[in-house]
Structure 1
Amino acid sequence: MASTLSSTLLASLLLLFTTPPSLTSQVQVGRSVTLPKSDVDLLEFPLNLEYLEAEFFLFGSLGHGLDQVAPYLTMGGPPPLGAKKADLDPLIRDIVTQFAYQEVGHLRAIKTAVKGFPRPLLDLSSSTFAKTMNDALQRNLEPPFDPYANGINFLLASYVIPYVGLTGYVGANSKLMSATAKRLVAGLLAVESAQDAVIRSLLYERARMKVEPYDITVAEFTERISDLRNKLGSSGVKDEGIVVPPAMGAEGKISGNVIAGNQYSLAYARTPQEILRIVYGNGDEHTPGGFFPKGAQGHIARSYLGRA
């Protein structure tokens, strides 16, 4: 029953939110369109997260990244550190492969609107994810967490990434001035939200499962990861696990939390500063680290470096 429900939900979400092939023509973005400088900066900033997601999903599912799939999109940026193919079952591999190619599309879509920047140095090594999990659980896991070891681990590692990007799109939307930029961000947000919903659905189906060999449930992993992101972001609760106290669930009536939202079931918004604090893994937008050992790129991200 659960498997049938999950399969139906996943099929519906993927059908509804898959990036339409005609995205570029629909949003009518291109070098002939002049965008306000603030819109350019806000559109460039999420390229950092889109690069991160594209490389993680591509390597996890296919064993190679943008340098083979779409080298022109890297603009000569360095290859990611430590990324590799994950040991995934056929269903999860198929879903992650879909995500991977969607992220390639996102990079292309943004770069039809703005020039962008070369791929930043990304650290997708097992040790980076292991540190994240250790920080979340407030203890050193033994053996160290390896996102590429199996499907559950990869889903938990995936839980760490797309949600941060979607909260950034929610936060950016109200600050955009042009209709062109707003249309583009709306399309990106829809697919990022769907990816997060699929990941959360797969994890929710396994909520009570113990993650081996740690004797910690999937639900607790998601709760602790969300708590860590709230702590690093330093702006209150903008993150929730897949199971919450009923008072925090939809309408304060249910503990199942397959889609995170505020008291009105609206998506949370994050600023670029909050996102940098999270992806740097240290709560400080001025100090590179975590997934971006040399810092994120673009005017917004670079403006914080050296200003501690």
Structure 2
Amino acid sequence: MALSISADALKPLFLLLLLVYCLGSSTVLSVESDAEKLPKSDVDLVEFPLNLEYLEAEFFSWGAFGQGLDKLAPSLARGGPPPIGAKQADLSPIVKDIVAQFAYQEFGHLRAIDKTVPGFPRPLLNLSSSTFATFMNDAFGIALDPPFDPYADDINYLLASYVLPYVGLTGYVGTNPKLLSPTARGLVAGLLGVEAGQDAVIRALLYERALVKVLPYGFTVAEFTDKISDLRNELGKAGLKDEGLIVPPALGAEGKISGNVLAGDEFSLSYGRTPEEILRIVYASGKENKPGGFYPKGAGGKIAKSYLE
């Protein structure tokens, strides 16, 4: 026998279903709205790290594969000019595999930032051997002979890599307390975790070789890291925020050990840097309004460009 239900009896059910649907839709819309309507200050702060992410993506992809964003993920470059002087490094299989992982991680970082803020095209980057050679000369206060070549072998490439992710992670540490929205904080925390991991891997690989001399210079790997960190402190002009692989025990964890595979303050917390400090370092000029170094025409985004006006 067929069951007969009047239209009036179904009205409450229809209204309930409609209410559930509307509530569900409004929740989804509110989440999307939160992501799309970040405070302007958050947008600027989240966009700024694109500069470092572009730099690392190109350096690691060229080092591992001999090609960069323009071949492997052209949409991520957003039409920005190709980097100067980047090339494939002569790496052992294990180091090449690690660097390849770093490259793809950086591609992911670019996608994550692009999903959250408007972004900007890849700025002109100078990844030539001469840029790294000049940085190393400045670090030691002498002209290394022959000029340092970051692409020559494992040790040189790892030392050149030592220059990069750590600067980015200190930027994320410095940025996070300034962010207002949970969306921006969550993104930056996620980026910071992987950047810190990359830096830890690089430092661990170098720490294993800390007392090995970098040929043909006669300086050890540890001495190179000390000099690089000292130069970044000097360029940043904000005190001690950088440490090499071996430090006086007073500067080690709990003031009790010289090994320094991870850099940190007196509480073993990561140091933080401002965008201004980062620009002074990556421009290699000590001035946030004087481009050079890895960014011959300056970095992108509102914060960086504000110092060039």
SS in structure 1 at match of 2:145: coil
Q: Taking structure 1 as reference, are residues 145 and 38 closer, same or farther at Cα in structure 2, changes over 3 Å only? A: same
Residues 130-159 of structure 1 deviation map (CA, whole Å, 9 limit, x = unaligned) = 000000011000000000000100000000
1:168 Cα deviation after fit: 0.2
Q: Please tell me whether the aligned partners of residues 31 and 114 of structure 1 are also in contact (alpha carbons under 8 angstroms).
A: no
Question: How far does residue 121 in structure 1 lie from its aligned partner after superposition?
Answer: 0.0
Residue number in structure 1 paired with 2:24: none
- The change in CA–CA distance for 1:29 and 1:66 in structure 2 (over 3 A counts) is farther
Counterpart selection for 1:249 from 237, 249, 252: 252
Contact kept in structure 2, 1:31 and 1:112, CA below 8 Å: no
AA at the equivalent of 1:275? I
**Structure 2 segments unaligned to the other structure (5+ residues):** 1-30
* 1:87 aligned residue (61, 85, 90): 90
**1:53 aligned partner, one-letter code:** E
Distance of 2:72 and 2:41 partners within structure 1 = 31
Task: State the distance in 1 between where 2:129 and 2:175 align.
Answer: 31
The yes-or-no answer on 1:186 pairing with 2:180 is no
The residue aligned with 1:171 is 174
Q: What letter matches 1:137 in structure 2?
A: F
Larger of the two Rg values belongs to structure: 2
Quote the offset at 1:31 in angstroms: 9.2
Q: Please list, as runs of the form range in 1=range in 2, the aligned pairs for 1:196-215 lying within 5 A after superposition.
A: 196-215=199-218
Aligned residue for 2:178, secondary structure, equals: coil
- Residue 72 in structure 1 maps to residue 75 in structure 2: yes
1:100 counterpart residue number: 103
CA distance in 1, matches of 2:286, 2:98: 31
Contact 1:243–1:257 (CA under 8 A) maintained in structure 2? yes
Q: Secondary structure at the match of 1:117?
A: coil
Once the 2 structures are TM-superposed, how far is the Cα of residue 33 of structure 1 from its aligned partner? Answer: 2.2
Q: d(CA) in 2 for partners of 1:125 and 1:30? A: 42
Q: What stretches of structure 1 move > 4 A for 4+ residues in a row?
A: 28-32
Identity %: 70
Partner of 1:222: 225
Partner Cα separation in structure 2 for residue 289 and residue 101 of structure 1: 27
Secondary structure of 1:226's match?
A: helix
Q: Deviations over 1:276-300 (max 9, x none)?
A: 0000001000010000000000000
Aligned ranges for residues 41-56 of structure 1 at < 5 Å?
A: 41-56=44-59
Whichever residue aligns with residue 169 of structure 2, its letter is L
Distance 1:51 1:142 in 2: 30
Structure 1 residues without counterparts, runs of 5 or longer: 1-27
Aligned to 1:262: 265
